[in-house]
Structure 1
Amino acid sequence: MNIFKSINNNAQSSTTTGFGSSASSYGGRFINKDGSANIEKRGLSFFGRISWYHTLVNMPGWKFLGIIFLFYTIINFIFALLYYSIGVENLNGIGTTGSEWVKFGKAYFFSAQTFTTVGYGHISPTGVITSAVAATEALTGLLSFAIATGLFYGRFSRPKAHLIFSHNALISPYKGGKAIMMRVASHKNTNLLDAEVRVTLGIVVEENSIPVNKFYQLPLEMSKISSMSLSWTLVHPIDENSPLHGFTEEDFRLIEGEFILYVKAFDDLYSNTVAISTSYTFDEVVYGAKFEMMYDENDDQSKTILYLDKINNFRKVELP
């Protein structure tokens, strides 16, 4: 059963989020933890709604390398079948002795040498048909490696915000009251400057007996910093102007809501602005907790140590 909460009248809702207002038409969260939209697109064919470049550039490295290896294996298997079907006797130097599996294996490795344009020379095609297949395979190999090289370059050169976020958002003590807090840190050896963050609250409320999505921009204690050298705790004070004013621990347990984070910064290596997003649903909010420090000075007090494995560490505390 949906539970609704009256929002503080001092809070002004936003209509520029890009999300719809019909709560009954939405399923699950708005933004996934990895920053992608929680949307499944239908209505077009699979190939009509898939950008292969974006898919291959954005997928995990092990999947990308697996696809490259699988394509290489399959394409050589196909050409080896063609050579074997034409007849291995048309491959000069391959030899006609041995089992059929041995002959096919030799055809496969000749295909690999042709595809990569290595061409060791001890096997060569004879006859028009075999030579035409070998020429086609060589061209296919050149084009395939050109595409693979472009994809590798796209993956390595693509500007990316190397930031990690805490698993939970916390309701913590703040200046005699309460605040919602989330933590972010740079986890690579990058230099991010002029970092800026925007936090949007999405919540399901009832208007005229109809559940609707409402969105509120949450003002932060600091929305911009000059450098992302250390961790950054994002703080939204829950005062009389906050849409969260009057929320209890039970409200966070029962109400459908989500905090959507957008972070952008300038990466001086890429000389470009990088951006990343994530979200916290209300069931990922810990009520009555405080983040523990995740950086300290080293033994000789000559350097600051940032402990990235402590980004999720917090302790329970009493709230006022």
Structure 2
Amino acid sequence: MSVLKNRGKKNSNKQTGFGTNASNYGGRFINKDGSANVKKIGLPFFERISWYHTMLNISGFKFITIIFVFYLLVNFAFACIYTLIGVQYLQGIKPNSFIEDFGQAFFFSTQTFTTVGYGHISPVGFLASFTASVEALFGLLTFAIATGLFYGRFSKPKAHIMFSENAVIAPFQGVKALMLRITPHKNTSLIDAEAKVNLGMTVKENGVEVNKFFNLDIEYDKINTLTLSWTIVHPITEDSPLYGFTEDDFKKNEGEIIVFIKAFDEMYSNTVAIKSSYMFSEVIYGAKFVQMFDDEDDTVTVLDLSKLNAYQKINF
């Protein structure tokens, strides 16, 4: 990040966990999806990866694909073992061409792995029987793990909250204000929602560039229920580190606005949290958000999620 003026000292936050050495930090602090913009090295790959966390956090399509590919590979491996032992030791298979023999061994493997066991093919001899028993045990353990992962993915508390793509600078009660918007996008019930906003930037102290973080005061840091959209407002007063910033300042300088949201989900009966960030390049100067909700025949309030990122330019 480039050097900005050292403002808002009394709001400085030294407990962010991001570190202060600006020369050793690259890019943004928090990615748009809320993950930390950090790449870890120095240990073997398998020691740096938690497979449980990975399997819980990847997309549903990737999760199902991994399960399916693993299923095929395991059965392919056991089919190779049965073929090497000899399909004549699988009673019910009449040896024919290699392709047919391997195909029959593969489907016997799937029946053993899933413990279905249709019965028209059965192992004969020690090696075939031992392999089948090992595969059956491996299948039981594998499906137990897969079941746990499925349960973990469905039961894990998750904040179904969306952030606007951009923040805006708009007039607010006689001053300028930084505004961003969030909204729940699922049929969840969130109460006691809290917001915290920090500003990260690089300043010069004693001729050395350091990362500084500032707490940004917001109009409301807590609301009772989050059912519609919530526009989080930081009035840019004289106490704000953004005080005096012009449109050119946002274009020429680099900074990052980090947003933390926490709420209580009544369905999970648990606290959920989510975070995101906005670079200065993602702040629209002289704009206001378009209202997302309206009434329908005076009977129900309609929340239009497609308008989350909608804004209109204004002059001030």
TM-score (norm 1): 0.97
- Structure 1 stretches of at least 4 aligned residues deviating more than 6 Å after TM superposition: none
Q: Distance in 2 between matches of 1:65 and 1:222?
A: 42
CA contact (8 A) 2:8 2:214 kept: no
State the partner residue of 1:230: 228
Amino acid at match of 2:259: L
Residue by residue over 1:47-100, the C-alpha shift from the partner in whole angstroms, topping out at 9 and shown as x without a partner, is 111111101111111111111001000000000000000000100001113x21
Contact 1:10 1:242 in 2 (8 A): no
Task: Give the structure 1 partner of residue 80 of structure 2.
Answer: 81
Q: Structure 1 CA distance, aligned partners of 2:225 and 2:2?
A: 41
CA distance in structure 2 between the aligned counterparts of 1:8 and 1:90, rounded to whole angstroms: 80
Does structure 1 residue 304 correspond to structure 2 residue 307? no
Deviation, structure 1 residue 10 = 6.1
In structure 2, the residue matched to 1:318 is 315
Letter of the 1:138 counterpart:
A
Partner deviation per Cα, 1:22-68 (whole Å, 9 max, x = no partner): 11110000000111110011111111111111011111111111110
> What is the rounded CA distance, in whole Å, between the counterparts of 2:149 and 2:44 in structure 1?
24
Between the aligned partners of 2:8 and 2:226, the Cα distance in structure 1 is 35
3-state SS in 2 of match to 1:301: coil
What pairs up with 1:67-106 in 2 under 5 angstroms? 67-97=66-96, 99-106=97-104
| Superposition pairs of residues 57-206 of structure 1, within 5 angstroms | 57-97=56-96, 99-206=97-204
| Partners of 2:207 and 2:312 in 1: CA distance | 40
State the match for 2:243 in structure 1.
245
- Equivalent residue number for residue 293 of structure 1: 291
Q: Which residue of 1 aligns with 2:47?
A: 48
Kept in 1, the 8 Å contact 2:4–2:201? The answer is no
Match of 1:207 in 2: 205
How many Å separate the matches in 2 of 1:291 and 1:12? 27
- Matched with 2:272 is 274
Task: Determine if contact 2:8/2:240 at 8 Å carries over to the other structure.
Answer: no
- In the alignment, structure 1 segments of 5+ residues that lack a partner are none
Q: Residue 186 of structure 1 contacts residue 231 of structure 1 at CA under 8 Å; is this kept in 2? A: yes
Give 1:209 deviation, angstroms: 2.2
- Counterpart of 1:4? 3
Query: 1:210 Cα deviation (Å)?
Result: 1.8
For 2:72 and 2:2, the matched residues in 1 are separated by 55
Structure 2 gap ranges (5+): none
Q: Distance in 1 between matches of 2:260 and 2:57?
A: 19
Shift of 1:153: 0.3
CA contact (8 A) 1:80 1:104 kept: yes
Question: C-alpha root-mean-square deviation of aligned residues, in Å?
Answer: 1.0
1:267 counterpart letter in structure 2: D
Tell me the percent identity: 58
Determine if contact 2:163/2:182 at 8 Å carries over to the other structure: yes
> In the alignment, residue 117 of structure 2 is paired with which amino acid?
G
Separation (CA, whole Å) in 1 of partners of 2:108 and 2:288: 64
Q: Which amino acid aligns with 1:317?
A: I
CA separation in 2, counterparts of 1:43 and 1:111?
Answer: 40
Cα deviation, residue 5, structure 1: 2.7
- Partner SS state of residue 225, structure 1: strand
Q: What CA deviation, in whole Å up to 9, does each residue of 1:175-207 have, x standing for no partner?
A: 122000000000000100000010000011122
Aligned-residue offset at 1:21: 0.8
| Aligned residue pairs, count | 316
- Please state how far the C-alpha of 1:7 moved relative to its aligned partner: 3.4
> Quick check: 1:204–1:255 contact (8 Å CA) kept in 2?
no
Q: Distance in 1 between matches of 2:87 and 2:239?
A: 81
| Structure 1 residue 3, shift from structure 2 partner | 4.5
| Contact 2:6–2:204 (8 Å) recurs in 1 | no
| Residue pair 1:186, 1:230 contacting (<8 A) in 2 also | yes
Residue correspondence of structure 1 range 211-222 to structure 2 within 5 A? 211-222=209-220
Residues of 1 paired with 2:278 and 2:199: CA distance? 10
In 1, distance between residues paired with 2:7 and 2:72?
Answer: 62
